[in-house]
Chain A
Amino acid sequence: MPKSALRILHVTPYYFSEQSVIGGGERYVNNVCAAVRIASQDPETRSDVLSFGSSAQTMAMGSASVLNILPASADHLMSCAGAAFDKLIDDYDVVHIHQCLLPFGFFVAARARMAGKVVIGTDHGGGESPLLEMFPVVGGMFDCFHAQSQFAAAAFTQMKTPVEVIRGPVDDLAFPIDFRLRDPDKIVAVGRILPHKGFEEAIDALPSGRQLTIIGRKYDNRYFDFLQGRTGGKNVVFETTLDDAAVKARIGGAGLFVHTGLHRSYDGNFHAKPELLALTPLEAMCCGTPAVVSRAGALPELVFLDGCRVYSDRDDLAQLMGGFRSGAGAPDPAEINADVVAKYGLKQFGLAYLNLIERLIAGS
């Protein structure tokens, strides 16, 4: 057991910022830090982040976490290695590596191993090294893999390292319940404008008399043009530059949230891991907004939430978009919020996560 307070370092190739990447995998790291802060009994417990950028920086993240940026690129591993990197790792008891199946993940895991740390890995769908097919032994660099869903756990099949599924965390403090008057005819969909988000499914299924607002940064102009051409006179609004506060307001004022992630996108491409957790519908449910999700990736695992329904095809989606909404067919916002916070919220995650770390430290 560590003599002083527990210190966890999250190492991630990119961090949640306009200067790096605005994506679920990056936001997830922030959420885990928040979960540790909330669940830990010890105010001295640290949960900090190490990532990479164009220049060295140290920034506060919330009240008790620090984001350390080293001047390097996760795509060029040699640029990451060095005294500053080693010193940071040395200062922590546990190294939690995000995007752990990339060569970057193995590299950091091996370095942390050499430093005698407890090593945890989480995949966020950023790819996997072909090394794994021939050498599953590299999984031994990790003490444990953490999966955010059963679907995410499949990525570790064949490796002997234990896998622990802890669902969540969704940042229920950043997305509190919204008690304002909702417009039940408004439907929102949130995500980066990328083909595997499948927004066209929501457009196609949109019932008359309803408005669909698609919110997200434009990462693929061709796909954005495709979506615009798909609206066919329906009441579809695109919001591509909103800040977090405005996004929350849109979600909180809507009658329904839809997530239409898919494995086979409109351009014929196959996406093996479109959603390993799906933060956005969870965030919507934290706001009290019911959600309808597809069967892609981990999305069907949300079915046991009171505020969530899973659709199987477009007819099914159209029916749910017509009949399952706040004030008509869906549970009360407070019930939706309480249920998702209990099952996916920061505290439940933080407690399970710290418990896992305790067991790993005891085992090491």
Chain B
Amino acid sequence: MRILIVSELFPPEFIGGYELVAHELALRLSKAGHQVAVATSPLVNHTRDPDEPGFAIYRTLQCTWVSLHGGEDQRFKIKFVNLNNIFAISSIVEEFKPDRLFLFSLSGLGAYGIVLFGYLVGLRPMVYLGDNIFMVSDSDTAALRDKYYDVFRAREAMASLRILAVSENVYLETKTAIATPIQEPVYVPGWVEDTIPPHRRSSSETMRFVFSSRVTPHKGTDILIDAVRILVERGDRNFQVDVYGGGLAPQFIQRVHAEGLSAYINYVGLVERDEMVRRFAEYDALVFPTWQREPLGLVPFEAAAQGCIPIVTAQTGACEWLTEGECIKIERSGFGLAGGMQLIMHMSGDERAAMQARACRNVRRYFGASRWFPRIERLISEPSNAVRTMTPRMARDVMFTITRAWNP
């Protein structure tokens, strides 16, 4: 197959798990013998892509929310159709001639328009729904979405979109945002590299917790600080939390200092994903008090596969997959997280080791990449039954004409 992947960011530029999964699937599909190309936005914080990624990368898309120009494009219709991106993807399709279109994070690319374009050229797009990329935040935008459907005859395109969803959480949120009939999803979990053997270090006197995600309040960094303060006030002081990730690190460090908790919380920085996976083995538990709408959260799976027990907000996508025996599900609050951490700290050594071993064994067994990748590959391979086909150029020109007629 010739597969065109579209993602607003693509490593080495990334925000979180969504882009990392796009990268991983590009690699795996490429290694499985498929021709793969990736359409994404330019590198900004990095100078170049890896020398031989194994697939072509077109960095010609314009992502509005990480726009090089800055500022959200106030011409609101760009949320639905970004003609720059339609023209760029059209050129890539003409050159690369894909027979499959595999969509990832598109929020800043004009997601609705890309689905329509893929539909018009007969590629019958499939989306990996790692987040709600069709978000509609207010009633004005919702009204505009409905106008968009009418003006572009786009409901058919949305209905034809094939969906791989990482959780029911994200599927239901997306379904509400799209607000026109869409297909039922196929659910795929986060998966872990099951060929890396676990290598847990021997446990030490001090309980070691790890946070590994974007350092930002919605991922729970403020809750982490609250929880640590609560533990210290309760007299549970024999622990350490190492924090990995990029984002609002300076503000986080300042807050930790302000709370007088520098002895318990240590900001380490951002490390490569493979290195992070290895480091999970050095910790007793992962703290992940992320927001309830977290579509999945890949990190609890990666941590658990190294025997590092995830402590996770109960309503997240990850908790749809992980059982109580493999993780600790908490209410999203400082007290909730402190309770989860206390549970780990006050388990007997044998009990903790047993839970770590169980988490490691089960996650590897049920969420191993070798179990899930062939399934995803099979789903992509399903033949397209597209009813509409036009040339990329014609599809592009149709969308241009309607857009300019709508927005003269």
Q: Which of A131, A157, A270 contacts B258 (CB 8 A)?
A: A270
Are A157 and B250 closer than 8 Å at their CB atoms? yes
Interface size class of B (residues with CB under 8 A): 20 to 34
Q: Which residue of the partner chain A has the closest CB to B252?
A: A157
* Given A135-B45, A137-B45, A158-B246 contact (CB < 8 Å): yes
* Given A134-B66, A272-B254, A157-B249 contact (CB < 8 Å): yes
Contact with B along A124-149 (1 / 0, CB 8 A): 00001001011111000000000000
Q: Which of B246, B249, B253, B258 contacts A264 (CB 8 A)?
A: B258
* Given A135-B45, A156-B250, A158-B246, A272-B260 contact (CB < 8 Å): no
Q: Shortest distance in angstroms between A134's beta carbon and chain B's nearest beta carbon?
A: 5
Q: Which residue of the partner chain A has the closest CB to B65?
A: A134
B156-208, CB < 8 A from A: none
Are A295 and B267 closer than 8 Å at their CB atoms? no
- Complexed CA–CA distance, A54 and B44 (Å): 37
- Complexed CA–CA distance, A295 and B251 (Å): 17
**A151 contacts the other chain (CB 8 A):** yes
**B374 contacts the other chain (CB 8 A):** no
Are A155 and B258 closer than 8 Å at their CB atoms? no
Residues of B within 8 A of A131 (CB): 70
A106-139, CB < 8 A from B: 128, 131, 133-137
- Complexed CA–CA distance, A151 and B267 (Å): 13
Are B45 and A273 closer than 8 Å at their CB atoms? no
- Complexed CA–CA distance, A137 and B259 (Å): 30
Residues of A within 8 A of B325 (CB): none
**B349 contacts the other chain (CB 8 A):** no
Q: Which of A158, A264, A295, A297 contacts B250 (CB 8 A)?
A: A158
* Given A154-B257, A270-B258, A272-B254, A135-B44 contact (CB < 8 Å): yes
**B270 contacts the other chain (CB 8 A):** yes
Q: Which residue of the partner chain B has the closest CB to A272?
A: B254
* Given A131-B70, A133-B247, A135-B44, A157-B255 contact (CB < 8 Å): no
**A263 contacts the other chain (CB 8 A):** yes
Residues of A within 8 A of B267 (CB): 157
Are A272 and B45 closer than 8 Å at their CB atoms? no
* Given A131-B70, A157-B249, A158-B270, A136-B45 contact (CB < 8 Å): yes
* Given A154-B250, A155-B250, A158-B249, A272-B66 contact (CB < 8 Å): no
**A296 contacts the other chain (CB 8 A):** yes
**B248 contacts the other chain (CB 8 A):** yes
Residues of A within 8 A of B259 (CB): 263
Q: Shortest distance in angstroms between B382's beta carbon and chain A's nearest beta carbon?
A: 37
Q: Shortest distance in angstroms between B246's beta carbon and chain A's nearest beta carbon?
A: 6
Q: Which of B250, B255, B257, B260 contacts A128 (CB 8 A)?
A: B250
B27-85, CB < 8 A from A: 44-45, 66, 70
Contact with B along A201-227 (1 / 0, CB 8 A): 000000000000000000000000000
B251-282, CB < 8 A from A: 251, 253-255, 257-260, 267, 269-270
Residues of A within 8 A of B44 (CB): 135, 137
Residues of A within 8 A of B270 (CB): 158
Residues of A within 8 A of B251 (CB): 272
Residues of A within 8 A of B66 (CB): 134-135
Q: Shortest distance in angstroms between A158's beta carbon and chain B's nearest beta carbon?
A: 5
- Complexed CA–CA distance, A335 and B194 (Å): 65
List, sorted by A's number, 5 A–B pairs whose CB atoms are closer than 8 Å.
Answer: A133-B247, A154-B254, A158-B249, A263-B258, A270-B258
Given A151-B254, A154-B257, A270-B255, 14 additional A-B pairs, CB 8 A: A133-B216, A133-B247, A133-B248, A135-B44, A137-B44, A154-B254, A156-B250, A157-B249, A157-B267, A157-B269, A263-B258, A263-B259, A272-B254, A272-B258
B interface residues, Cβ below 8 angstroms from A: 44-45, 66, 70, 216, 246-251, 253-255, 257-260, 267, 269-270
Counting from the closest, the 4 A-B pairs by CB-CB distance are A263-B258, A137-B45, A272-B254, A154-B253
